[in-house]
């Protein structure tokens, strides 16, 4: 697995309205799981982008799964951060999946014409990540 990858510690803002954590899953299929919870506005979107790119830039090749199941709100900045992360992974030859995406967020992505660019998982622990 992506040996030597240094993950940032779990983060929660002072109000408790936003959380971000990174986990390397060693079980097959190996994956980097980013779990986001709460309300995602501009400052949170910036942190998601910066921390995720910092981890990805360390050179790992595992698929990236961003678990959105705990999100209560996402702003256009949050959608922009997801899109920027997608573009980064594509340049690096990695695969990005969005997991546990609410119907509201899927509709938003579709309305913006972005839904077709993302691959979706019902469960971030899915055993098969092939051809999604």
* Whole-number Å distance between alpha carbons of 25 and 10: 15
- The pLDDT score that the predictor gives to residue 114 is 95
Whole-prediction pTM value? 0.89
* Structure confidence by residue, pLDDT tens digits, 11-70: 888 888 899 999 888 777 788 999 999 999 999 999 999 999 999 998 777 899 999 999
Q: In which band, very low, low, confident or very high, does the pLDDT at 4 lie, cut at 50, 70 and 90?
A: low
Query: Rounded mean pLDDT of 79-89?
Result: 97
pLDDT computed for residue 1 by the predictor: 41
CB 18 within 8 A of CB 51: no
Domain ranges of the chain: 17-121
CA dist 78 and 93 (Å) reads 23
CA distance 60 to 37: 24
The CATH architecture to which 17-121 belongs is 2-Layer Sandwich (3.30)
4-to-1, 56, 58, 112 alpha-carbon distances in Å:
9, 12, 8, 37
């Amino acid at each position: 697995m992506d040996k030597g990858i240094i993950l940032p510690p779990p983060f929660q803002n002072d109000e408790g309205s936003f959380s971000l954590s990174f986990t390397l899953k060693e079980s097959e299929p190996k994956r980097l799981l980013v779990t986001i919870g709460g309300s995602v506005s501009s400052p949170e979107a910036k942190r998601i982008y910066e921390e995720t790119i910092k981890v990805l830039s360390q050179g790992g090749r595992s698929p990236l799964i961003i678990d959105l199941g705990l999100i209560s709100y996402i702003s256009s900045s949050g959608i922009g951060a997801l899109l920027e992360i997608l573009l980064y992974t594509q340049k690096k030859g990695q695969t990005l999946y969005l997991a546990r995406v609410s119907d509201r967020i899927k509709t938003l992505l579709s309305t913006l014409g972005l839904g077709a660019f993302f691959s979706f998982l019902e469960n971030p622990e899915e055993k098969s990540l092939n051809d999604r």
